[in-house]
């Protein structure tokens, strides 16, 4: 036997041994094929698909829940998944949810490729609020913002007294800065003392808005929520005003909780199990 024939025989013996081991360790669910073999899926040419699968996507809680309940009911009544229920994974931090209809069980796992996906978008009003949070604005910008979003606003003074919105807008437009300074100088034999006091005060402070209440629907499908903003004035050559949302983190936690509760109530608990978190099959 020449060298080439010997190498050919050794190669085939090695491949045969490897194939036997693959079949042995995968319970005959895998097969060794030559490199030149191409596997072609004939499903596109069949009258029907072998099984139902797909990914439904929406931004509406009601549509997501309706489809999840419908699809879960169909799966639950089928012979193939008679004892299997759908599973919904809710990620409140990202305001997303995904329902899997063919995950199967731990002992009989499914493909997990039939899903419904929900991504809850922020409303335009909430996006606008977040864009202004912590942003330094000049008088004109803040005044125009108050006018543009007036239907959703209430303003109060530092002492908690309600202010009329037109009056607050006018006060923002006519902010003036006055500076008063006082200095003393005392000379002694063995030393001296100098002190200076400078006071910068914004005029019309009694009519300037100290707090703003902004009411909007933060995410599509969630209830309206009122956000309280604290208004701060930065004095300088040109006055600058900053609005900051009070306890924003608390609002985010409450909105995440509300999102999960909406889904728990909208989904049929007998058909869809709900979990908090994300899952990737």
pLDDT digits (tens, 9 = 90+) for 216-238: 999 999 999 999 999 998 877 78
pLDDT (0 to 100) of residue 260: 94
> At residue 83, does pLDDT exceed 50?
no
Higher pLDDT, 122 or 159: 122
pLDDT (0 to 100) of residue 252: 95
pLDDT (0 to 100) of residue 36: 81
Q: Residue 196 contacts by C-beta under 8 Å, 6 or more apart in sequence?
A: 181, 182, 183, 184
For the chain, the domains span 1-39, 54-174+205-281
Which of 67-81, 84-98, 123-137, 265-279 tops mean pLDDT? Answer: 123-137
> What is the mean pLDDT of the segment spanning 245-264?
95
The pair of structure tokens assigned to 175 is 């902010």
pTM of the predicted model, to two decimals? 0.75
pLDDT (0 to 100) of residue 266: 94
Q: At what angle do helices 165-173 and 139-148 cross, to 10 degrees?
A: 160
Higher pLDDT, 74 or 183: 74
The answer to whether residues 209 and 231 touch, using CB atoms and an 8 Å cutoff, is yes
> At residue 22, does pLDDT exceed 50?
yes
Report pLDDT digits (tens) over 132-186: 999 999 999 999 999 999 999 999 988 889 999 999 999 999 887 666 655 545 5
Higher pLDDT, 22 or 192: 22
Q: What would the DSSP string read from start to end of 162-224?
A: EE-HHHHHHHHHT--EEEEEEEEEEEETTEEEEEEEEEEEETTTTTS-SEEEEEE--BTTSPP
> What is the mean pLDDT of the segment spanning 256-272?
93
> What is the mean pLDDT of the segment spanning 76-82?
57
pLDDT (0 to 100) of residue 37: 79
User: Using H for helix, E for strand and C for coil, what is the string for 231-252?
Assistant: EEEECCCCCEEEEEECCHHHHH
Higher pLDDT, 49 or 124: 124
The answer to whether residues 225 and 233 touch, using CB atoms and an 8 Å cutoff, is no
Higher pLDDT, 182 or 111: 111
Question: What band does 128 get if pLDDT is binned at 50, 70 and 90?
Answer: very high
């Amino acid at each position: 036997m020449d060298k080439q024939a010997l190498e050919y025989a050794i190669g085939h013996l090695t491949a045969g041994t490897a194939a036997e081991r693959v079949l042995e360790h995968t319970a005959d669910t895998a097969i060794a094929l030559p490199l030149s073999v191409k596997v072609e899926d004939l499903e596109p040419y069949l009258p029907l698909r072998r099984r139902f699968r797909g990914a439904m996507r929406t931004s509406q809680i009601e549509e997501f829940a309706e489809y999840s309940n419908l699809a879960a009911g169909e799966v639950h009544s089928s012979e193939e998944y008679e004892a299997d229920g759908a599973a919904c994974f809710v990620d409140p931090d990202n305001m997303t949810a995904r329902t899997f209809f063919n995950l199967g069980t731990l002992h009989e796992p499914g493909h997990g490729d039939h899903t419904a996906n929900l991504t809850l978008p922020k409303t335009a009003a909430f996006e606008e609020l977040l864009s202004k949070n912590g942003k330094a604005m000049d008088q004109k910008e803040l005044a125009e913002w108050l006018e543009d979003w007036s239907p959703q606003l209430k303003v109060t003074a530092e002492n908690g007294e309600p202010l009329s919105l037109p009056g607050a807008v006018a006060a923002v437009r006519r902010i003036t800065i006055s500076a008063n300074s006082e200095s003393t100088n005392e000379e002694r034999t063995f030393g001296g003392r100098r002190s200076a006091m400078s006071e910068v005060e914004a005029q019309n402070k009694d009519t300037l808005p100290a707090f703003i209440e902004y009411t909007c629907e933060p995410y599509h499908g969630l209830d309206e929520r009122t956000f309280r903003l604290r208004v701060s004035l930065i004095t300088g050559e040109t006055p600058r005003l900053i609005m900051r949302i009070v306890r924003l983190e608390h609002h985010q936690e409450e909105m995440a909780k509300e999102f999960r509760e909406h889904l728990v109530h909208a989904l049929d608990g007998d058909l869809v199990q709900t979990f908090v978190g994300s899952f990737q099959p």
